[in-house]
Amino acid sequence: MPDSPPDIPREYTPQAETEGPLLRVCNLTKHFELREPGLFGRVTGTVQAVTDVSFEIHRGETFAIVGESGCGKSTLAKTIATIYPADFGEVWFSGNRLADISTGDLKSTRRRVQMIFQDPFGSLNPRMTAAEIIAEPLVIHAMGDKVEQRQRTREVAEAVGLDTGDLNRYPHQFSGGQRQRIAIARAIAPKPKLVIADEPLSALDVSIQSQILNLMVALQHRENLTYFFISHDLAAVRHVAGRVAVMYLGRIVEMADTEALFADARHPYTQALIAALPEIGHGKKRRAAAPAGDVPSPLAPPPGCPFHPRCPKAQDLCRVERPELATVKKARKGHLAACHFSDPEKPQE
Amino acid sequence: MTNPSPATGIQLPDQPGPVLSVRDLQVVFDTETGPVTVVDHLSFDLHAGKTLGMVGESGSGKSVSALALMGLIPPPGRVCGGTAMFDGQDLLHATPRELQSVRGARIAMIFQEPMTALNPVFSIGDQIAEMFHIHQSLSKHEAWGQAVAAIERVGIPDPKVRAEAYPHQLSGGMRQRAMIAMALACHPDVLIADEATTALDTTVQAQILDLILDLQAAEGMAILFISHNLAVVSEVADDVLVIYAGRTAETAPAESFFEDPLHPYSQGLLATLPSADLRGKPLPTIPGMVPGPHETITGCRFKPRCTVAEDRCAANVPPLQSVSGDRHVACIKAGNRSHAG
Ligand SMILES: Nc1ncnc2c1ncn2[C@@H]1O[C@H](COP(=O)(O)OP(=O)(O)OP(=O)(O)O)[C@@H](O)[C@H]1O
Ligand SMILES: Nc1ncnc2c1ncn2[C@@H]1O[C@H](COP(=O)(O)OP(=O)(O)OP(=O)(O)O)[C@@H](O)[C@H]1O
Ligand code: SF4
Ligand SMILES: [Mg+2]
Ligand SMILES: [Mg+2]
């Protein structure tokens, strides 16, 4: 495919289990219809949550997604995890197209793709004990007998730093951070290949965050895990991710190696994200100015570049033509951005 | 307020008294294995126009302390000691009816988990309008208009359409913003923000913090800002309170705290932050975990994890002592620092 950028997979042929990327997402699109209340309510709008997203995740890497609240990160994750059906596009896991997989295989694929959900409270069944919650995927996938399941439960509970004496307590009896550890233990219990972690750190305090980050890295090496890591915490992303994609209004607007992204961000939204990163040592009220303008609506994304209403660099071209995600000039291999002016040396009008 | 037990900050003679003054707050949970103390002799003051940042490990009792002030401790928990004076009234001993009139209108809280605080069967517009309806006796129609305006203020696009959305139809960050809109609706005197911006990206976080701090500057709201994110706390707080296992470890003006944390736990917290030069390497951690509330530890509760602990640390619970001016530390070794320079 000489004329398509190397990192945007447009077509994909099945490969053997151990070759090629672990996950390949092609042109994935997921929209939601908003309806008036009631069973047959009128459609009042369509939320364009995820539009034409393509990327791949290599075996053993940590791929991170960052972006605006509401830009579609969780929707993307849930669509990949087959919790939501896609409207359009394909997801390939380990060389198999997810839609083609027969029911039996889908179940085993589901075991190999585990998700840590964003809301650690809402996603834990309040009527189950911590031990039951952690063991549930083992029961669903009939992994081992009762004794082995109990053993694995204790093992992962210890691995995430839960007190095994507390395992017969219910979710509401744990603090927010402890609940997040239950969610992580549950996800790693059935020995998955890909762990989709949707904001796994946001409920944790810094010292536990660093323990969990270290734990995730250690588990990654030991169990050859691949992570799809969603986080608002740029410092954590920078620490663990090999590559980062930045989403804005349902689309990927920049993708690069982590170091390249932080050192040489080319999309103005990425630049704003990094500039707004709070830092110790500035004191009260000396925060970087947030980008001006209203956050646009996923119900009616602006024409042209979706970022143009807030972009300090926007030109007339930006208001009419949407920039494609393309390789940026004078950058490291695999650095993509969707901005008409991603090349800093190209003169602006 | 006449109680002389250590509080945060010093009282300048011309400074008006605190808006909310908490002394010796104690919260206990009755569990199968007996009562466990989750918050122990916690004292702090909130001043008009000022922000107290509360930081501390998961499970250290931050949310429980906040909920205690709101009269919202879930059973089997109960407040079993202390006072919380607000406008001449002790919140900890107020009747449910008295609390009802304060809560939401004069003291508002942004809850850590929006899904548990928002009602799933009402649209977010209805829930915010309800606040205006109850507390400001606006008509249903006016209240709805105000709710839409409040949703717009927190930066949710399409406020008119989104007001009709149910909580599950919003992204995590939008739910968070809906809750912030609800908390700010009635221009409270005291805002308790429990992990208010944790679910937001840095640009929206900056917008929300601007919104909250602008409101504070204009209306003199006192804020208790609970957050795991030390960098955010450093950018919003005037004073910092570090809580460990239900007790105050350190209180200090924010600036001196971040420059020179005194309690070994505070020092550990600041050292664990990821930084550019640690990329790819294991992050420093504070070994071990916060003791469970049922674990009995004599003396300093941080001792099992403390790298500089000595035998005498186990003798008594270290009292919160004044170290220099407006700094207080609950560590018997912290007082020695002045000699070390
Ligand atoms: N079940 C649903 N029905 C209708 N709209 C939805 C649904 N789930 C998500 N949305 C909408 O899709 C958009 C993307 O939401 P999503 O939860 O994927 O965002 P996000 O990037 O994860 O945000 P955050 O960082 O705040 O968690 C939002 O506008 C949201 O309101
Ligand atoms: N219903 C309950 N029953 C028993 N113990 C409880 C209950 N609710 C909370 N606790 C305990 O109280 C302690 C303090 O919890 P709290 O939620 O205040 O922690 P936190 O400091 O807010 O933590 P986080 O940063 O994780 O939100 C925890 O050890 C928790 O296990
Ligand atoms: S294309 Fe134009 S509006 Fe969009 S990010 Fe680039 S400069 Fe800004
Ligand atoms: Mg999300
Ligand atoms: Mg909490």
A283 in contact with chain B, both atoms CB, cutoff 8 A: yes
Confidence of residue B240 (pLDDT cuts 50, 70, 90): very high
- Same domain for B229 and B97, yes or no, is yes
- Same domain for B125 and B165, yes or no, is yes
Residue A48 DSSP SS3: strand
Query: How many domains are there within chain B?
Result: 2
Confidence of residue B60 (pLDDT cuts 50, 70, 90): confident
CATH number at residue B209: 3.40.50.300
Gap between the Cα atoms of A293 and A309, Å rounded:
7
pLDDT at A240: 92
**Closest residue on chain B to A239 (Cα):** B279
Asked if A118 lies within 8 A of B292 by C-beta distance, the reply is no
- Same domain for B55 and B136, yes or no, is no
CA of B23 to the centre of ligand 2 (A): 20
Tokens matching residue A226: 């691949």
Ligand 2 within 6 A of CB of B29: yes
The domain locations on chain A are 57-83+105-241, 245-349
Residue nearest to atom 5 of ligand 3 (CA): A339
Kindly state whether residue B9 falls inside one of the protein's structural domains: no
- Same domain for B202 and B250, yes or no, is yes
**Closest residue on chain B to A201 (Cα):** B198
CA of A278 to the centre of ligand 5 (A): 21
DSSP per-residue codes, A310-338? G-TT--HHHHH-PPP-EEPTTS-TT-EE-
pLDDT at B14: 55
Kindly report the pTM of this predicted structure: 0.82
B205 in contact with chain A, both atoms CB, cutoff 8 A: yes
Residue nearest to atom 25 of ligand 2 (CA): B58
Domain boundary, last residue among B167, B185, B203: B185
- Same domain for B233 and B319, yes or no, is yes
Of B155, B268, B289, the CB nearest to A161: B289
B83 in contact with chain A, both atoms CB, cutoff 8 A: no
- Same domain for B28 and B162, yes or no, is no
Kindly state whether residue B6 falls inside one of the protein's structural domains: no
Asked if A278 lies within 8 A of B232 by C-beta distance, the reply is yes
Asked if B285 lies within 8 A of A207 by C-beta distance, the reply is yes
Strands (E) in chain A, as ranges, are 23-35, 43-57, 62-67, 88-93, 96-97, 113-116, 194-198, 226-230, 243-248, 251-257, 326-327, 336-337
Residue nearest to atom 6 of ligand 3 (CA): A339
Residue pair A53/A27 in contact (Cβ under 8 Å)? The answer is yes
Give the long-range contacts of residues B77-81, CB within 8 A, separation 24 or more: B77/B27, B77/B28, B77/B29, B77/B30, B77/B38, B78/B27, B78/B28, B78/B29, B78/B30, B79/B25, B79/B26, B79/B27, B80/B26, B80/B27, B80/B28, B81/B24, B81/B25, B81/B26, B81/B41
Q: What is the mean pLDDT of residues B146-158?
A: 88
- Same domain for B180 and B205, yes or no, is no
Kindly state whether residue B59 falls inside one of the protein's structural domains: yes
A67 in contact with chain B, both atoms CB, cutoff 8 A: yes
- Same domain for B126 and B224, yes or no, is no
- Ligand approaching nearest to the C-alpha of B58: 2
Q: How many residue pairs bridge chain A and chain B with CB atoms within 8 Å of each other?
A: 208
Closest CA to A88 of A34, A49, A52: A52
Length of chain A: 349
Question: Helix crossing, B172-184 with B140-153: angle to 10°?
Answer: 120
A170 in contact with chain B, both atoms CB, cutoff 8 A: no
Ligand 2 within 6 A of CB of B293: yes
A298 in contact with chain B, both atoms CB, cutoff 8 A: yes
Three-state secondary structure string covering chain B:
CCCCCCCCCCCCCCCCCCCEEEEEEEEEEEECCEEEEEEEEEEEEECCCCEEEEECCCCCCHHHHHHHHCCCCCCCEEEEEEEEEECCEEHHHCCHHHHHHHECCCEEEECCCHHHHCCCCCCHHHHHHHHHHHHHCCCHHHHHHHHHHHHHHCCCCCHHHHCCCCHHHCCHHHHHHHHHHHHHCCCCCEEEEECCCCCCCHHHHHHHHHHHHHHHHHHCCEEEEECCCHHHHHHHCCEEEEEECCEEEEEEEHHHHHHCCCCHHHHHHHHCCCCHHHCCCCCCCCCCCCCCCCCCCCCCCCHHHCCCCCHHHHCCCCCCEEEECCEEECCCCHHHHHHHC
Tell which of A205, A215, A277, A295 to mutate to test the B interface (max B CBs under 10 Å): A205
Asked if B115 lies within 8 A of A119 by C-beta distance, the reply is yes
Ligand 2 within 6 A of CB of B63: yes
Give the side-chain half-sphere CA count within 13 A for B327.
19
Q: What residue numbers bound the domain in which B140 lies?
A: 117-185
pLDDT at A8: 41
Kindly state whether residue B64 falls inside one of the protein's structural domains: yes
- Same domain for B68 and B176, yes or no, is no
pLDDT at B118: 85
Taking the CA of residue A136 and the nearest CA in chain B, the distance in Å comes to: 23
Kindly state whether residue B53 falls inside one of the protein's structural domains: yes
Give the long-range contacts of residues B287-296, CB within 8 A, separation 24 or more: B289/A161, B289/A163, B290/B57, B290/B58, B290/B59, B290/B60, B290/B244, B290/B245, B291/B245, B292/A163, B292/A165, B292/A166, B292/B59, B293/B29, B293/B36, B293/B37, B293/B38, B293/B245, B293/B246, B294/B31, B294/B33, B294/B34, B294/B36
CA of A173 to the centre of ligand 2 (A): 7
Asked if A276 lies within 8 A of B203 by C-beta distance, the reply is yes
- Same domain for B137 and B234, yes or no, is no
Residue A312 alpha carbon, nearest atom of ligand 3: 8
pLDDT at B261: 94
Gap between the Cα atoms of B199 and A218, Å rounded:
26
Q: Is the pLDDT of residue B275 over 70?
A: yes
Residues of A in contact with B164 (CB under 8 A): 36-37, 44
Residue tagged 């010093």 (tokens): B10
Ligand 3 within 6 A of CB of A308: yes
Distances in Å between the Cα of A169 and the Cα atoms of A53, A127, A128, B32, B78 are 41, 10, 9, 11, 19
| Complex-level ipTM | 0.73
pLDDT at A121: 64
Asked if A205 lies within 8 A of B173 by C-beta distance, the reply is no
What does the pLDDT profile of chain A (349 residues) look like in tens digits? Answer: 333 333 444 444 444 456 689 999 999 999 998 877 776 778 778 889 999 999 999 999 999 999 988 889 999 999 998 888 899 999 998 888 876 666 666 677 778 899 988 776 677 899 999 999 999 999 998 899 999 999 999 999 988 878 888 999 999 888 767 887 898 899 989 999 999 999 888 767 677 788 878 888 887 887 788 999 999 889 899 999 999 999 999 999 999 999 999 999 999 999 999 988 888 887 776 555 666 666 677 888 889 999 998 898 999 999 999 999 999 988 888 999 999 998 876 655 4
Residue A77 alpha carbon, nearest atom of ligand 1: 18
| Domain A57-83+105-241: CATH superfamily, name plus number | P-loop containing nucleotide triphosphate hydrolases (3.40.50.300)
Ligand 3 within 6 A of CB of A323: yes
Kindly state whether residue B139 falls inside one of the protein's structural domains: yes
Gap between the Cα atoms of B178 and B162, Å rounded:
10
Kindly state whether residue B127 falls inside one of the protein's structural domains: yes
CA of B163 to the centre of ligand 1 (A): 15
- Same domain for B141 and B267, yes or no, is no
**Closest residue on chain A to B51 (Cα):** A284
Q: Report residues whose beta carbon is within 6 angstroms of any ligand 1 atom.
A: A 32, 47, 49, 69-75, 118, 298; B 169-174, 199
Residues of B in contact with A74 (CB under 8 A): 171-172
Residues of B in contact with A286 (CB under 8 A): 235
- Same domain for B198 and B58, yes or no, is yes
Asked if B195 lies within 8 A of A172 by C-beta distance, the reply is no
Ligand 3 pocket test: pick from A246, A308, A315, A320 the residue with the most ligand atoms within 8 Å of its Cβ: A308
Give the side-chain half-sphere CA count within 13 A for A193.
16
Asked if A294 lies within 8 A of B275 by C-beta distance, the reply is no
Q: What is the mean pLDDT of residues B73-83?
A: 92
Percentage of chain B beyond pLDDT 70 is: 92
Kindly state whether residue B123 falls inside one of the protein's structural domains: yes
Residue tagged 């709710």 (tokens): B147
Distances in Å between the Cα of B21 and the Cα atoms of A142, B1, B45, B52, B319 are 55, 7, 4, 12, 19
Q: What is the mean pLDDT of residues B326-339?
A: 77
